[in-house]
Amino acid sequence: MEDNSVITPWEVSGEIDYDKLVERFGTTRLTPELLERIGGHTGRLHFMLRRGVFYSHRDLDLVLDSYEENGKFVLYTGRGPSGPVHLGHLVPWMFTKHLQANFGSKLLFQFTDDERMLLRDDMDEGVTGHWVYQNALDLMALGFDPDKTEFIVNTRHIDKIYPIALKIARRVTCSTVRAVFGFREETNTGIMFFPAIQSAPCFLESERAGEPIPCLIPAGIDQDPYWRITRDVALRLGYPKPAQVHGRMLPGLRGDAQMSSSLPSTAIYLTDVPALVEKKIQYVDTPGGPDGCPIFLYRYLLLEESDEAVNEVYESCRSKGISCEECKMGLAKLVNRFLKGHQRRRELIKGSVKKMLE
């Protein structure tokens, strides 16, 4: 079968074969032995690990080695602040929160507002600044520890990472960046330099501590190309290679490979009202069975922690014991229950999040 998928840090489309991506990107599957090691520190495995939502890695075993020796590693993830947060963003965020809570690790969260302005003519500091705050509210409303979470807004906090970015940029050629990201002659110079900016937080805690501090990046597997370049230069700069744990992506409501902010009718935003959530879910096309059905996948990948509840829905759907209409109604209730609590927490932390962004 012809592979029609497009997988880059900026675009995900087509039918994704996650097994083939492991081979294509040269990553390593999470093994039962590695999962057992994680469970030894966290108790019962997180449902995203039990179900293979996070399924691939680079050097996660080395991060665990370091943690077991000295209790240290830093988490790093981020967001391009160009619009509201939707359910798809929560897959890596909720898993990252689980890691922070169970390992006590600091989280560096980078807002790549500069990248948004370099890529889109409709973005300026006013627009991205608005979305930085709104997106930060959504992140912290998930329950991250504010004492162990540091925001890096690139245009505001560039002094924290620019010296490291320069070290990286000196060792990465234009031909390498073009080969990895597919940049063309018309690509602006800002975007050519940007991979060094996004790589810099991987080494920030090592620089601050004056000793190697491993960095773990939980993210969708589409983000893997960034860290290949970073890993190539890490040892030459005296830093540990950033490790990754790769997740699957939440599909859009119409079956797109990835839920996207650019397609509002196919995404459920964390600020959506109940009636709008119900309307969006009502119009989803379903295949008549759980396999490949977006309605079921939202439960399986994100919203339902109970394996028993997920299995019950799967079997009921497969045996026609529940109709697609009933399944949609059940998902709408599940989503709205989650959003009600999330939106309430969001209101309560507005002042504290503003201080965190200063």
Name the strand (E) or helix (H) holding 245: strand 243-247
Cα Rg of the chain (Å, integer): 20
Distant-in-sequence, close-in-space partners of 204: CB < 8 Å, separation ≥ 6: 74, 108, 152, 160, 161, 164
List Cβ neighbours of 91 (8 Å cut-off, separation of 6 or more). Answer: 48, 53, 220, 247, 248, 249, 250, 301, 302
Q: Would you state the pLDDT for residue 4?
A: 55
Quick one: pLDDT at residue 273?
97
- CATH of 6-249, picked from 1.10.10.10, 2.60.40.730, 3.40.50.620, 2.130.10.10, is 3.40.50.620
pLDDT value, residue 261? 74
Domain range 264-348, CATH class: mainly alpha
Instruction: Provide the 10 A C-beta neighbour count for residue 273.
Output: 12
Domain ranges, ordered by start, for the chain: 6-249, 264-348
In the chain, the amino acid numbered 263 is L
Residues whose CB falls within 8 Å of the CB of residue 337, separated by 6 or more in sequence, listed in order: none
Per-residue pLDDT, 9: 56
pTM: predicted TM-score of the whole model, two decimal places: 0.94
Task: Note the pLDDT of residue 333.
Answer: 97
Q: Do domains 6-249 and 264-348 have the same CATH topology?
A: no
Contact in structure between 181 and 195 (CB atoms under 8 Å): yes
Q: Alpha-carbon distance 93 to 248, whole Å?
A: 13
Nearest CA-CA partner of 290 in 327, 330, 318, 331: 318
In order along its 358 residues, the chain shows pLDDT tens digits of 445 555 555 555 556 788 998 998 899 999 999 999 999 999 999 999 999 999 999 999 999 999 999 999 999 999 999 999 999 999 999 999 999 999 999 999 999 999 999 999 999 999 999 999 999 999 999 999 999 999 999 999 999 999 999 999 999 999 999 988 888 889 999 999 999 999 999 999 999 999 999 999 999 988 887 788 999 999 999 999 999 999 998 888 887 767 877 778 889 999 999 999 999 999 999 988 999 899 999 999 999 999 999 999 999 999 988 999 999 999 999 999 999 999 999 999 999 999 999 9
- How much is the pLDDT for 6? 55
Q: What angle is formed at CA 231 by the lines to CA 189 and CA 220, rounded to 5 degrees?
A: 80
Tokens 């050097």: give the residue: 59
